[in-house]
C-alpha cells in the first residue's frame, strides 16, 4: 500500500518553481532598465544578493517599487536616490564617490603607486651597485677569476 502511495506521489507531483514576478512594461526599454536596476541594487536583507536574485519579501517589494517608479517616468538616477535615501550605501553595489568611500575608490591606485615607487627604487639601487666597481676592483676580479 505504501509503495502504491509512493508511486502515486512520484507520478502525480508537479514541478515547483520559484515565483518570478513578471511585471508588464509598455516597452522593452523600460524592461531593460528595470532589469539593469534590480541587477545593480543589493537586497537589504541578504548579504550578497542583488534584488533580481533574491526571493525575500523586501526584495520583492523593492522590485515592485522599481517597476512603479519606472512607469511613473522617474530616471535611473532618481530611483537610485530613492533607494539610497532609505537604505544608504548598503543597497548600492557600486558605491558612490564621497568622503567615506574615497579610500575604496582610490585605495588600489594609491597602493599601485606606492608599490611602483618601491619597485623602481629597488631596481635602481641594484643597478647602481653593479656599476660601482672601480678599475682596480675590476683588475682584482679578473685576477681572481684567472687564478681559478
Binding site for another protein (CB under 8 A): 44-45, 47, 57-58, 61-62, 64-65, 84-88, 90, 103, 107, 111, 114-115, 118, 121-122, 125
Q: Give which of 70, 90, 86 is closest to 28, Cα–Cα.
A: 70
Q: Which residues contact 96 (CB under 8 A, 6 or more apart)?
A: 84, 89
Q: Would you call 135 exposed, middle or buried from its count of C-beta atoms within 10 A (0-12, 13-18, 19+)?
A: exposed
Q: Distance between the two ends of the chain, CA-based, in angstroms?
A: 96
**From the CB of 52, what's the least distance to another protein, in Å?**
17
For residue 105, the minimal CB distance to another protein (Å) is 13
**Cβ-based nearer residue to another protein, 130 or 145:** 130
CB atoms within 10 A of CB 92: 16
Q: Cell numbers for 21, please give them.
A: 514576478
Minimal distance, residue 56 CB to another protein, in Å? 9
Q: Which is nearer to another protein, 7 or 103 (CB)?
A: 103
Minimum distance of another protein from residue 104's CB (angstroms): 8
Closer residue to another protein, CB minimum distance, 125 or 139: 125
Residue 12 C-alpha cell reads as 502525480
Nearer CB in complex with another protein: 109/145? 109
Amino acid at each position: 500500500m505504501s509503495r502504491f502511495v509512493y508511486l502515486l506521489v512520484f507520478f502525480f507531483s508537479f514541478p515547483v518553481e520559484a515565483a518570478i514576478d513578471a511585471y508588464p512594461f509598455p516597452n522593452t526599454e523600460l524592461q531593460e532598465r528595470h532589469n539593469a536596476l534590480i541587477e545593480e541594487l543589493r537586497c537589504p536583507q541578504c548579504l550578497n544578493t542583488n534584488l533580481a536574485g533574491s526571493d525575500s519579501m523586501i526584495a520583492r517589494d523593492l522590485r515592485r517599487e522599481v517597476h512603479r517608479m519606472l512607469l511613473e517616468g522617474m530616471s535611473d538616477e532618481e530611483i537610485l536616490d530613492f533607494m539610497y535615501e532609505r537604505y544608504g550605501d548598503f543597497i548600492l553595489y557600486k558605491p558612490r564617490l564621497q568622503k567615506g568611500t574615497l579610500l575604496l575608490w582610490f585605495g588600489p591606485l594609491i597602493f599601485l603607486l606606492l608599490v611602483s615607487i618601491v619597485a623602481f627604487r629597488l631596481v635602481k639601487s641594484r643597478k647602481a651597485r653593479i656599476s660601482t666597481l672601480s678599475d682596480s676592483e675590476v683588475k682584482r676580479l679578473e685576477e681572481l677569476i684567472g687564478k681559478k
